Amino acid sequence: MNRKVIITCALTGAGDTTAKSEHVPVTPAQIAEAGIEAARAGAAIVHVHVRDPRTGQGSRDVALYRETVERLRGSGVDVVINTTAGMGGDLYVDPDDPGGGPGEGTDLVSGLERLAHVEELRPDICTLDCGSLNFGEGSLLYVSTPDILRQGARRIQELGVRVEMEIFDTGHLWFANTLVAEGLVDAPAMYQLCMGIPYGAPADPGLLMRMVEQVPDGAVWASFALGRMQMPWVAQSVLLGGHVRVGLEDNLYLGKGNTVTNARLVENARTIVEAMGASVATPDEAREILALRPR
């Protein structure tokens, strides 16, 4: 297997994980340092969320993104920067009064408002979550409608930022292909197949294979799975011809109860990739694979 595999490291996410591991970065300085360490370990791309330093909760604060991205860019360590644009889609519904309006914790804004930090910072890549989803147990719905998605995709394209389409279920893949067919995503289209997130596509190898078959020719794809399936999914992705993602956004452990850093997860992924006969892509090689515009 003589090919280059891109490792993306998703550094922190927005989930309620800070109390579960001391390694989850919270402040811009911590997130940037985690990204630098991940890059040194072999990640060509770092996927960036930010958190409110006071509460540890996920945030859309442009100032926090600015500090994090500036620290990464000024570090002297080469890495491709991929910022989320998925924050701003949370709708909490009262099950006893679903018509009573948004519940406490709702953060629901337009597709353009979700891109405020992308507008200012122009990262190499930003994400686009390609559909709505019942997000876990309870009453949280992640909202990303076709109109919101077309609005966001069009603006990302105008900004010259590469869009990574996040696919959480099979219908999301259908719509991502629609965006590509409509010319709202520049070639090579970039797909991230996100498995095991309740209640989207389960982490089933047969399902991943079927989904990969629906990715258009010439596109670039990666996939990941949550929790204990993270490392097996590195192997699954490489076997099927894709790229990989690891990081504390999706998994905190290597072995039962053994919390580790982002860099350690990247090191483990690198071992798997290289043991399978592939090579880990450098940031410049990732830029070439993804046809990223020079910065």
The reply to whether 217 falls in a domain is yes
Give residue 32's pLDDT band: very low, low, confident or very high (50, 70, 90): very high
Segment 19-34 shows an average pLDDT of 98
Instruction: Find the domain containing 199 and state its range.
Output: 4-290
Share of the chain above pLDDT 70, in %: 99
Segment 68-93 shows an average pLDDT of 97
SS3 141: strand
pLDDT greater than 80 at residue 293 = no
pLDDT greater than 90 at residue 45 = yes
Give residue 2's pLDDT band: very low, low, confident or very high (50, 70, 90): confident
Cβ atoms within 10 Å, residue 91: 17
Number of domains the chain is built from: 1
pLDDT at 177: 98
Q: What is the pLDDT of residues 213-239, one digit of tens each?
A: 999 999 999 999 999 999 999 999 999
The reply to whether 147 falls in a domain is yes
The reply to whether 28 falls in a domain is yes
> Which two three-digit tokens encode residue 23?
């390694």
The reply to whether 70 falls in a domain is yes
**Cβ contacts of 206 within 8 Å, gap of 6 or more:** none
188 contacts 290 by C-beta, under 8 angstroms: yes
pLDDT greater than 90 at residue 1 = no
Q: What pTM did the predictor assign? A: 0.97
**Cβ contacts of 175 within 8 Å, gap of 6 or more:** 130, 131, 146, 149
Q: What is the pLDDT of residues 237-281, one digit of tens each?
A: 999 999 999 999 999 999 999 999 999 999 999 999 999 999 999
pLDDT at 284: 97
The reply to whether 185 falls in a domain is yes
pLDDT at 295: 59
Measured CA to CA in angstroms, residue 100 lies from 94, 110, 145, 266 at distances of 7, 21, 21, 45
pLDDT at 156: 98
The reply to whether 87 falls in a domain is yes
pLDDT at 113: 98
Residue with tokens 């309870």: 138
The reply to whether 295 falls in a domain is no
CATH number of the domain residue 48 falls in: 3.20.20.70
46 contacts 66 by C-beta, under 8 angstroms: no
State which H helix or E strand residue 59 sits in. strand 58-59
pLDDT at 224: 98
Cα(10)–Cα(25) distance, integer angstroms: 11
Give residue 81's pLDDT band: very low, low, confident or very high (50, 70, 90): very high
Q: What is the pLDDT of residues 127-160, one digit of tens each?
A: 999 999 999 999 999 999 999 999 999 999 999 9
The reply to whether 277 falls in a domain is yes
